[in-house]
Amino acid sequence: MFLNVKLNFVYGWFSFRNISVYVDNTLFTSIIGNGKHILEIPKNTKVIRFELGKIYPYRTAVSLSPEDHESNNIFVGLSLNHRGLVLALYDSLKFDYLKSIKLSENEYQYFDKAADHEELVEIKNSKASTLMLLISVLILVFSIVQQNNDLSPFAFLIGLSSLITSVVYFKEKKVKKNNYAARVIATVTLFILAIWFLDNSYMFLNWIILLFTCLLVLLFIENLKSTNTKNIKEA
C-alpha cells in the first residue's frame, strides 16, 4: 500500500524541516517539509501520525478505514492551521498547528494550488478611507495647536503616519483580508492612543475623534463582510 503525501505550508514555512512519519506509533521514516512524497507502508496500517519538531512537536494523525485498506493508494495533505499573520504567533504555540487531511485522488492533485487562493476584501466605496483621512488631519493639526503636554509629538507622528497611509490606500479596491484586518487593528489602536496623547483646551475634540473612530470601525466591519475567495494571480 502506498502513502502519497503532499505538503502545502503557507509562505513556505518549515519547508526545510524534517517531518517524522509514524505508522501505528512506530517511527517509519521522515520527509522534508515541501513537495510531495510517496511511501510504501504496511497493508494493515491503522494510524499514520506526522510530527514536526523535536522538543514540543506539532502532531497530527489520520486513521485508515477498511475502504482505505482495499485501496492501493492513500492520499494525505499536510498544511498549517494558519488563520492569518495577526494570529500566527498564537496559532504556532498550539500543538495542533500541523494539520493533516485525507484526500481523494482528484483533491490531492490540486491540494498545493490552495495557496493561490485567499479571501479578498472588495472595497466598494471610499467612505472608510475618507473618514480615516479626516481623523488623521484632525490629530495632526491639533497635535500642534494648543498643546500643553510632552506627549504631543507622539500624536503628531500618529497623525502624520495615518495621513500618509490613508492617502496611499485611498483608491484601493481589493486587498487581502488578513492584511486589511491587520491594518484595521493598527489604525484603530493608534487613533485611540492619539486621543490619550492629545491635551488642549478643546475638551470636545477627544470625544469627536473617539466618535469618528467608532464610526470608522463600523465602516471597516462593513468592508470586511464584502469578501470573496479568488485566485490572487487572477485578482
Same domain, 92 and 158: no
In the chain, which stretches have pLDDT less than 50? Answer: 116, 229, 231-235
Same domain, 168 and 125: yes
Same domain, 135 and 181: yes
Same domain, 10 and 80: yes
Under DSSP, is residue 119 helix (H, G, I), strand (E, B) or coil? Answer: strand
- The total domain count for the chain is 2
Sign of CA dihedral 48, 49, 52, 54: negative
- Per the domain annotation, does 108 fall within a domain? no
Same domain, 72 and 150: no
Grid cell in block for residue 181: 484586518
Order the strands of the 117-122 sheet from edge to edge: 174-176, 117-122, 227-231
Structural domain including 92 reads 2-103
pLDDT of res. 149: 72
Same domain, 159 and 220: yes
- For 11-63, the pLDDT digits (tens) are 788 988 999 999 999 999 999 999 999 999 998 899 999 999 988 899 999 99
Domain boundary among 68, 103, 138: 103
Residues 6+ apart with CB under 8 A from 140: 156, 159, 160, 163
Domain boundary among 103, 130, 147: 103
Domain boundary among 47, 71, 103: 103
Same domain, 125 and 95: no
pLDDT of res. 200: 62
pLDDT of res. 72: 85
Same domain, 189 and 145: yes
pLDDT of res. 201: 60
